[in-house]
Amino acid sequence: MDLGIKGKKAIINGGSAGMGKGSALALAKEGVDLFISARGEKRLLETCEEIEKKTGVIVKSIVADHSSDEGREKILSSCPDPDILVGTCTPPPFTYSYEEVSTEEWRQTLDVSLLSPVEFMKAIIPGMVERKWGRIVNIGTGAAKTPAEVRILSGPPRAALVNYSVAVSKKVAKHNVVINNILPGMHHTASIADRYNKLAEENGTTYDEEIEKFVNNWKIPAKKFGSSDDLGSFVAMFCSEQASYVIGQSLVIDGGIGNTTF
Ligand SMILES: NC(=O)c1ccc[n+]([C@@H]2O[C@H](COP(=O)([O-])OP(=O)(O)OC[C@H]3O[C@@H](n4cnc5c(N)ncnc54)[C@H](OP(=O)(O)O)[C@@H]3O)[C@@H](O)[C@H]2O)c1
C-alpha cells in the first residue's frame, strides 16, 4: 500500500535505536526524508548510514539531547518545517518502590518524556497548520494505561502526554494535522538488550532465557517480545495520507498483556 508520504520531511527524536529506529526505517521505505536526533554520535551515524543505504532517502543526523532547550534548538534549526514528528526516548529506569523515587528522578523523567514532546508540538504545529498537513506520533508506553509500581517513572508522564496530545489533536484536526500515540509493551530494542544481557550475565543464563522468564511471569499472550521494525510500520501508518481521520488515538501494541476491551 502506498502511504502517500513520499518526499515529506520527518524529525525522529531518539531515532538511532529501538522503536525510533524502526519508525525511521519504515518512514524511509515510504520515501520520507529524515532528520534523526540522538545523544550518542557513533550509533546515530551508523543508523543513518544503514537507513540511507537500504532506502536511498536523505538522512540527516543531529547529535542533540531533545530534552534540553539547546538540543531542541539544534534539532529545529536543522529542520524548521517538518511534515512529520515522531518522539521517543530511552525507557525511564525501573523502580521497585514508589517511596524510593527522588524528586530529581521525577524532574529528569518529566523533562525527557513529557516536556520535550510538549515543547516540540508547540514549536512545530503552527507551521503544520499553515501548510495544512502534519502528522505527529508519540511513542509512549502501555504503562500509561496499565499502571504498575515498577513502571512508575514511565507510565504517569506518558499518561499526561496522551491526555495533552488528545486535547491538542482535537483543536488542530481541521487543519489536517493529526496527532496519535503508540503505547508499546515489551519489544526487542537496544535498551532491552542492555537490560536482559546484564541480567543474563548476573544469573548465568542467556538473553533468550531471561526474555522467556519475563514472558512467562507476566503471562504475555503472544508468548514473545515484539519487533521494533513491526512497531515502526504502525508509526508509518499513523503518518500516512490515509490517517487524516484518525484523531487522538492511542494504539496499544503489547502482545495482549493489557487487559482492557478497548
Ligand atoms: N523496549 C520496550 O520493551 C518498551 C516497553 C514499553 C515502552 N517502551 C517505550 O518505548 C520507547 C522507546 O524505547 P526503546 O526501548 O526503543 O528505547 P532505546 O532502545 O533505548 O532507544 C532509545 C533511542 O532514543 C535515543 N534517546 C534517548 N534519550 C534521548 C534524548 N534525550 N535525546 C535524543 N535522543 C535520545 C537513544 O539514543 P541515545 O542514547 O544515543 O540518545 C536511542 O536512539 C520509550 O518511550 C520507552 O519508554 C519501550
Q: Which domains does the chain have, with CATH numbers?
A: 9-186+228-249 (3.40.50.720), 187-224 (no CATH)
**Whose CA is closest to atom 14 on ligand 1?**
18
Which pLDDT value is given to residue 8?
98
Q: Which residues contact 136 (CB under 8 A, 6 or more apart)?
A: 84, 85, 86, 87, 121, 124, 125, 165, 177, 178, 179, 180
d(CA 191, ligand 1 centre) in Å: 7
Within 6 A (CB) of ligand 1 lie: 13-20, 37-40, 43, 65-67, 88-91, 112, 139-142, 154, 184-187, 189-192, 228
Q: Alpha carbon of 100 to those of 105, 156, 159: distances in Å? A: 10, 16, 21
Mutating to test ligand 1, I would choose from 94, 165, 189 the residue with most ligand atoms within 8 A of its C-beta, which is: 189
pLDDT at 177 over 90: yes
* pLDDT tens track for 6-41: 999 999 999 999 999 999 999 999 999 999 999 999
Ligand 1 atom closest to residue 92's alpha carbon, by position in its atom list: 47
Q: How far is CA 242 from CA 56, 104, 113, 177, in A?
A: 24, 42, 28, 12
Determine the average pLDDT of the residues in 144-165: 97
Residue 67 has pLDDT above 90, yes or no: yes
Closest CA to ligand 1's atom 16: 18
Find where cell 496522551 sits: 162
- Which helix (H) or strand (E) segment holds residue 44: the answer is helix 41-55
Share of the chain above pLDDT 70, in %: 100
Q: Torsion over CA of 183, 3, 229 and 212, rounded to 10 degrees?
A: 50
pLDDT grade, residue 172 (50/70/90)?
A: very high
pLDDT recorded at residue 259: 86
Helix (H) or strand (E) holding 13: strand 9-13
CA of 174 to the centre of ligand 1 (A): 31
Task: State residue 262's pLDDT score.
Answer: 86
d(Cα 129, Cα 134) in Å, to the nearest integer? 7
Q: Can you say whether residue 119 is alpha, beta or left, with left for phi > 0 and alpha for psi between -120 and 50 degrees?
A: alpha
User: What is the pLDDT at residue 260?
Assistant: 86
Q: What is the CA radius of gyration of the chain?
A: 18
With the most atoms of ligand 1 within 8 angstroms of its CB, the residue from 75, 89, 198 to mutate is 89
In tens, the pLDDT along 130-142 reads 999 999 999 999 9
77: exposed, middle or buried (Cβ count in 10 Å: 0-12, 13-18, 19+): exposed
Best mutation site among 48, 88, 227 for ligand 1 pocket (most ligand atoms within 8 Å of CB): 88
What spacing in Å lies between the alpha carbon of 88 and ligand 1's midpoint? Answer: 6
Q: Strand 33-38 and strand 187-188: pairing?
A: unpaired
In a 3-state reduction of DSSP, which class is residue 262? Answer: coil
pTM exceeds 0.95? yes
Residue 59 to residue 110: CA distance in whole angstroms: 29
